[in-house]
């Protein structure tokens, strides 16, 4: 079991670029727009959207949202990868999810942030001040509709993950994780065979409800069975998709 020493907290020294290239340009040229909630907003209203946002850059390891805090900001990921996690009092950690380009960060009860968020890679975020975001929602019903759809999806994804955590074996969990990663990669136009994993074995373990050692053992077992291959721990090739699928379903 991985535990985190209490009081380890990255200082929020984010470089902030405010309003550069404002108006249609910034949001209009945004690399993430097509896959983010912002695609619910019409071309000719992008300048109003841009006025409500600030672009933030983060380095790997930076924590930019703290569990339990008041949710001052909401975010869209423009580029890079992020992990969401929760800490228990004794240092046990649960990784709730891994997010990338286009993903929205900001669901939860209105009074407290449900989980902390940390950059895994260099990350560019589009940041909304909470009050301004609420105004946007009221102004653009399409945006609200889009957000409801995203939240609804997220509920379903959460239920899927609960099933994994509650009822699957270690092999099944890792196989599903790899297949899910492949699918996500494909959705963003990447390869569905060659995966770049921006997270450590420890992050994967905390995501799958396992230990580092178990995750590592399952990876090597899958490699020996020639279902996957890798030279470095962070870039994996799926060699036998049907085989992985069979394992993921309890084969």
Interface ranges with a copy of itself (CB under 8 A)? 84, 86, 88-90, 92-94, 96, 107-110, 114-115, 137-138, 141, 144-145, 147-149, 151-156, 158-163, 165-167, 206-209, 249-250
In the complex, least distance from residue 82 CB atom to DNA, rounded to whole angstroms: 16
Nearest residue to 248 (alpha-carbon basis) of 179, 163, 166: 179
- Cβ neighbours of residue 55 closer than 8 Å, sequence gap 6 or more: 16, 17, 18, 20, 26, 78, 124, 125, 126, 127
What are residue 93's DSSP bridge partners? 87
Site for DNA in 160-219 (CB under 7 A): 169-171, 200-202, 209-217, 219
Closest distance to a copy of itself from the beta carbon of 59 (Å): 25
- The number of angstroms, rounded, from the C-alpha of 154 to the middle of its chain's C-alpha atoms is 11
The residues in 90-119 that bind DNA, with binding defined as CB under 7 A, are none
Q: Which is nearer to DNA, 12 or 61 (CB)?
A: 61
Give the SS3 label for residue 127. strand
Candidate list 191, 234, 237, 251; residue touching DNA; CB under 7 A: 234
Q: CA 70 to CA 81: how far, in whole Å?
A: 23
Residue 110 vs 166, nearer CB to DNA: 166
Strand, coil or helix: 14? coil
Q: Quick check: 232 binds DNA (CB under 7 A)?
A: yes
171 binds, among a copy of itself, DNA, none (CB under 5 to 8 A by kind): DNA
Report the first-to-last Cα separation within the chain, whole angstroms.
27
Q: How far is the CB of 247 from DNA (least distance, A)?
A: 12
What is the per-residue binding string for DNA in 134-163, x denoting contact by CB under 7 A?
Answer: ------------------------------
Residue 102 zone, left/alpha/beta (φ > 0; ψ -120 to 50; rest): left
Q: Which does 196 bind (CB under 5 to 8 A by kind): DNA, a copy of itself, none?
A: none
The DSSP code for 190 is S
């Amino acid at each position: 079991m991985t535990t985190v020493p209490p009081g380890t907290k990255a200082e929020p020294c984010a470089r902030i670029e405010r309003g550069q290239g404002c108006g249609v340009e910034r949001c209009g040229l945004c690399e993430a727009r097509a896959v983010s909630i912002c695609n619910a907003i019409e071309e000719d209203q992008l300048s109003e959207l841009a006025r409500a946002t600030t672009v933030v850059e983060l380095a790997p390891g930076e924590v930019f949202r703290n569990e339990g805090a008041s949710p001052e900001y909401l975010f869209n990921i423009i580029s890079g990868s992020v992990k969401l996690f929760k800490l228990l009092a004794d240092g046990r950690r649960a990784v709730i999810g891994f997010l990338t380009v286009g993903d929205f960060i900001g669901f939860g009860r209105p009074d407290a942030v449900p989980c902390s968020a940390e950059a895994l890679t260099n990350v560019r975020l589009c940041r909304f001040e909470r009050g301004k975001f609420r105004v946007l929602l009221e102004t653009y019903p399409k945006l609200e509709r889009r957000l409801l759809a995203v939240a609804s999806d997220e509920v379903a994804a959460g239920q899927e993950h609960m099933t994994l955590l509650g009822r699957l074996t270690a092999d099944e969990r890792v196989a599903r994780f790899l297949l899910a990663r492949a699918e996500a990669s494909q959705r963003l136009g990447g390869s569905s065979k060659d995966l770049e994993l921006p997270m450590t074995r420890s992050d994967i373990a905390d995501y799958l409800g396992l230990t580092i050692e178990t995750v590592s053992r399952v990876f090597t077992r899958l490699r020996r069975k020639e279902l996957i291959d890798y030279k470095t721990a962070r870039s994996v090739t799926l060699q036998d998709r049907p085989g992985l699928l069979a394992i993921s379903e309890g084969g």
